[in-house]
């Protein structure tokens, strides 16, 4: 059985991600871990007041119990609440690996043209460091079965496609339509990509309802945004190659209509280390 780890900092964005995560876990028949990472503040000498680690842990445990009540947990798969001390992204990744979770679900606050403001610094660091797929939920996204999935491909000829298994697990479970889209700059790029799309990728996805498309446009963000809207995409999937692509995607965008204005959850797949590429 699958397990999803839902992160929370008890904000509205986190609560919405929790609601989405509960519904997704129910649809996948997956177990749930609701997790919070806390840090112990340094004592303030002038006030001669300090809070013990134990007290903070117990307070956080109670906040997690209260959060479960607030999100209305009923008749779902197994749910556990866990908290741990540490830097948020590091604590999240550690517990996710310890519990062998399949997905990490986290919230996204608002929108902005700056990637760190879009994701928040914790989510940005989490995406960069995680070896487990991360699903980022916009603050106002509502759960729907992912019937249409867009995989915004940055696959190069030497990229390991092992994380594609996570796309397959979702598309097979929900019988989703999968679009694999690689935006190119001109018709020569389109011809090149059609010829050179890695055969392994085609083989891995051929059993699914998959369509490969190579739209021509210099503005990647605008093109993907239009595709999301036109095809009523329920989930966007990315696997940034060495993470440079994701940075470039936002830093050089020429449009104010960021892709996240479409309110679509984003599944970010980890890139495998070079020594594990096949």
pLDDT in the model for residue 156: 52
202 and 118 inside one domain: no
Cβ neighbours for 44, distance < 8 A, ≥ 6 positions apart = 50
Is residue 239 within 8 Å of 163, Cβ to Cβ?
Answer: yes
178 and 110 inside one domain: no
User: Mean pLDDT score of the chain, rounded to an integer?
Assistant: 79
Number of domains comprising the chain: 2
pLDDT in the model for residue 200: 63
Q: Give per-residue pLDDT as tens, 243-264.
A: 454 555 444 433 233 344 557 8
Question: What is the distance between the alpha carbons of residues 237 and 115, in angstroms, rounded to a whole number?
Answer: 16
65 and 170 inside one domain: no
158 and 74 inside one domain: no
Task: Please give the distance of CA 191 from its chain centroid, rounded to a whole number.
Answer: 31
CATH number, domain with residue 124: 3.40.50.620
207 and 190 inside one domain: yes
Question: What is the distance between the alpha carbons of residues 223 and 231, in angstroms, rounded to a whole number?
Answer: 12
Question: What is the distance between the alpha carbons of residues 134 and 7, in angstroms, rounded to a whole number?
Answer: 11
Of 101, 116, 142, the residue at which a domain comes to its end is: 142
The domain in which residue 214 lies consists of 144-278
Directed axis angle between helix 53-70 and helix 12-28, to 10°?
Answer: 60
156 and 265 inside one domain: yes
138 and 7 inside one domain: yes
125 and 254 inside one domain: no
Of 142, 167, 192, the residue at which a domain comes to its end is: 142
1 and 135 inside one domain: yes
Q: How far apart are the first and last CA of the chain?
A: 27
Q: Give per-residue pLDDT as tens, 58-99.
A: 999 999 999 999 888 766 668 999 999 999 999 999 999 999
Of 113, 142, 171, the residue at which a domain comes to its end is: 142
Query: In whole angstroms, how far apart are CA 17 and each of 130, 136, 170, 236, 244?
Result: 18, 8, 18, 16, 26
10 and 118 inside one domain: yes
More confident residue, 111 or 81: 81
Q: Give per-residue pLDDT as tens, 29-67.
A: 999 999 999 988 776 555 555 678 888 999 999 999 999
187 and 261 inside one domain: yes
């Amino acid at each position: 059985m699958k397990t999803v780890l839902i992160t929370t900092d008890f904000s509205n964005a986190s609560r919405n991600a929790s609601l989405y995560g509960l519904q997704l876990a129910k649809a996948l028949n997956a177990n749930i871990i609701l997790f919070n990472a806390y840090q112990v503040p340094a004592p303030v000498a002038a006030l001669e007041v300090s809070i013990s680690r134990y007290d903070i842990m117990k307070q956080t445990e109670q906040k997690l119990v209260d959060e479960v009540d607030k999100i209305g947990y009923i008749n779902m798969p197994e749910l556990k609440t866990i908290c741990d001390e540490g830097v948020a992204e590091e604590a999240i990744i550690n517990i996710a690996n310890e519990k062998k979770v399949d997905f990490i679900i986290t919230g996204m606050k608002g929108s902005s043209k700056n990637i760190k403001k879009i994701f928040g610094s914790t989510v940005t660091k989490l995406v960069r460091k995680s070896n487990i797929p991360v699903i980022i939920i916009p603050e106002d996204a509502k759960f729907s079965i992912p019937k249409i999935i867009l995989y915004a491909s940055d696959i190069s000829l030497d990229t390991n496609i092992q994380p594609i298994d996570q796309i397959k697990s979702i598309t097979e479970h929900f019988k989703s339509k999968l679009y694999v889209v690689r935006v190119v700059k001109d018709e020569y790029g389109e011809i090149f990509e059609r010829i050179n799309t890695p055969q392994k990728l085609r083989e891995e996805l051929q059993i699914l309802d998959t369509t490969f498309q190579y739209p021509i446009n210099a503005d990647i963000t605008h093109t993907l945004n239009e595709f999301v809207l036109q095809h009523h995409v329920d989930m966007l999937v990315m696997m940034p190659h060495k993470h440079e692509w994701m940075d470039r995607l936002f830093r050089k965008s020429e449009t104010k209509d960021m892709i996240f204005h479409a309110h679509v959850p984003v599944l970010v797949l980890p890139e495998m280390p070079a020594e594990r590429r096949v």
